[in-house]
């Protein structure tokens, strides 16, 4: 049986991927404020969305690598897969300009990502 500390040491790529995802979601919150107040905010938020989506895919890749070849638990793969689904929905509602769904979903995603980071 592995302890959480042993898992942290064994799979640092997974922890780094989750941290990157959490950071990109936080930066999306900052860029959403700039979206409302500056001329370059829309471009910054659009680029940030692509980076955040890429970070979610990296999280899934890291979870799969920690599980299959690394011998870890499959649970992070389920979490990362669910997060990639949330990120896909977030991008879709952002493109559809539905702030009543987009903003609360962003807050939920940040909280879940922070929770995943704290658990790693």
Residue extents of the structural domains in the chain? 17-119
Check if the beta carbon of residue 62 is closer than 8 Å to that of residue 81: no
Q: Count of CB atoms within 10 A of residue 104's CB?
A: 10
Rounded to whole angstroms, the Cα distance separating 1 from 54 reads 32
Read off the pLDDT of residues 22-81 as tens digits, 9 standing for 90 and up.
999 999 999 999 988 998 999 999 999 999 999 999 999 999 999 988 788 899 999 999
Q: What is the pLDDT of residue 73?
A: 84
Check if the beta carbon of residue 49 is closer than 8 Å to that of residue 94: yes
Read off the pLDDT of residues 64-113 as tens digits, 9 standing for 90 and up.
999 988 788 899 999 999 999 999 999 999 999 999 999 999 999 999 99
Which residue has 């959490």 as its token pair?
Answer: 22
| Closest listed residue to residue 116, CA positions, set 71, 68, 66 | 66
């Amino acid at each position: 049986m592995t302890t959480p500390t042993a898992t942290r040491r064994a799979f640092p790529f997974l922890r780094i991927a989750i941290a990157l995802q959490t950071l990109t979601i936080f930066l999306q919150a900052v860029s959403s404020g700039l979206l409302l107040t500056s001329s370059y905010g829309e471009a910054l938020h659009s680029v940030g969305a692509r980076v955040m989506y890429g970070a979610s895919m990296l999280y899934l890749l890291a979870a799969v690598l920690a599980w299959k070849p690394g011998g870890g638990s499959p649970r992070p793969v389920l979490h990362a897969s669910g997060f990639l689904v949330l990120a896909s929905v977030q991008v879709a509602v952002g493109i559809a300009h539905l702030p009543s769904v987009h903003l609360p979903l962003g807050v939920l995603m940040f909280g879940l990502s922070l929770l995943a980071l704290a658990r790693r």
